[in-house]
Structure 1
């Protein structure tokens, strides 16, 4: 649920990048952070575990406008992909206004993608968040790999996109599809906020 600060007239929305290990969640955030002007972003914070890490930072988008005179700020989070960090994933998901599911396009990673998507649904259910109405965007990363190693967008849609959510092929390492994904999920979050009224978390 979004955080409303009436003193500064800011609405802060939380977007979580979810997906299996090494799918490109961290790469997405690092690329976004590198492209956002310094005066529009906070410090990137990294919470490292032994084999994975959670990143987050906040930023003010340049062109998304305001809601009822409130400036919109976004906090972007990643979750650790490894199965044994599920408690951390649950914690990071708490209060999410939108989710980007980053899938690894490699054929050999399809089962991991499906397992991670099912894990996302289960964890959202624990937070009583309806996966059918939560703003969500899928990103099919690593589309730059040789064609024989990866699944097409259509094949990944068939396997993963049960909601017919917006989905974007990407090469996060070089930035392709990264901002298209972010813009889509940001717009979906703002639409929901506008439809339901600004959130109540303070």
Structure 2
């Protein structure tokens, strides 16, 4: 949940990249770190173990200022995908404002994707969030590989769900910005309803997205 500090005029938002192990969550935020140009961008913190799997979380801090000097900070987190780290996933997911679920497009990973998404649904409930209200988009990563599930098949499988699908190769920095932009659009609507970004903080939806992506207001 967003954290508003009226004295500092600071609104802090938390976005979590969730998904099975090795689906490309860290690669996504590395690509975002390379491509995003907000007014404020902190150093990315990456913790890699001996087998290059996230043990706790990765973090990328971003920030923009509105015309009335409200500071909006976004903190982008990943979670460890391995089953044994479920307690860490719940801790990182707690009080989040939006989720990007990063699935693995490989044919062999369909079961792992399903298990991870079911785990996300369960943990969202356990940390007191509502999946019907939480901004959420789904990205199928690793489209640069050969043995992958087709886009038509994935769209058919997810056709009865409310979440928008994106297809990406985070390693090649393809589809990452598009996925993130959609999450930002949904997030703005959610936050605007609670904090009146457009009225109290003089920030339109297009300016919110543009400043984070390109570093310039409209």
CA drift of 1:37 comes to 4.3
Are residues 69 and 2 of structure 1, via their aligned partners in 2, closer, same or farther at CA, if it must alter by over 3 Å? same
Matched residue count: 194
In structure 2, the CA distance between the partners of 1:38 and 1:73, relative to structure 1 (3 Å rule), is closer
Aligned partners of 2:16 and 2:76 also within 8 Å: yes
Which one has a larger percent strand, Structure 1 or Structure 2? 1
- After superposition, residues 1-202 of structure 1 pair within 5 angstroms as 1-37=1-37, 40-48=40-48, 51=51, 52-53=53-54, 54-60=57-63, 66=66, 70-146=70-146, 149-160=147-158, 163-197=161-195
Counterpart of 1:16 in 2: which secondary structure?
A: strand
Taking structure 1 as the reference length, what is the TM-score of the superposition?
0.86
- Listed one character per residue, the Cα deviations across residues 125-171 of structure 1 (whole Å, up to 9, x for unaligned) are 1012111221001101011112xx11123322333565321211101
Equivalent residues of 2:103, 2:141 under 8 A apart = yes
RMSD: 2.4
How far apart, in 1, do the equivalents of 2:49 and 2:163 lie? 31
Q: Kindly indicate whether the alpha-carbon contact (under 8 Å) linking 1:2 and 1:198 is maintained by their aligned counterparts in 2.
A: no
* SS at structure 1 position matched to 2:89: helix
CA deviation after TM superposition for structure 1 residue 38, in Å: 8.4
- The alpha carbon displacement at 1:69 in A equals 6.6
- 8 A contact 1:114–1:160 mirrored in 2: no
Distance in 2, matches of 1:163 and 1:68, equals 39
TM-score of the pair, normalised by structure 2: 0.80
Output one character per residue of 1:23-78: Cα deviation in whole Å (capped at 9) or x when no partner: 000000111112234862112223455653220121125xxx85987343211000
Question: For the structure 1 residues 119 and 101, does the alpha-carbon distance in structure 2 shift closer, same or farther, using more than 3 Å as the test?
Answer: same
SS of the residue 1:46 aligns to? coil
Unpaired segments ≥5 residues, structure 2? 198-218
Shift of 1:86: 0.5
Report the more deviating stretch, 190-199 or 103-112.
Answer: 190-199
Distance 1:94 1:119 in 2: 14
CA distance in 2, matches of 1:183, 1:38: 13
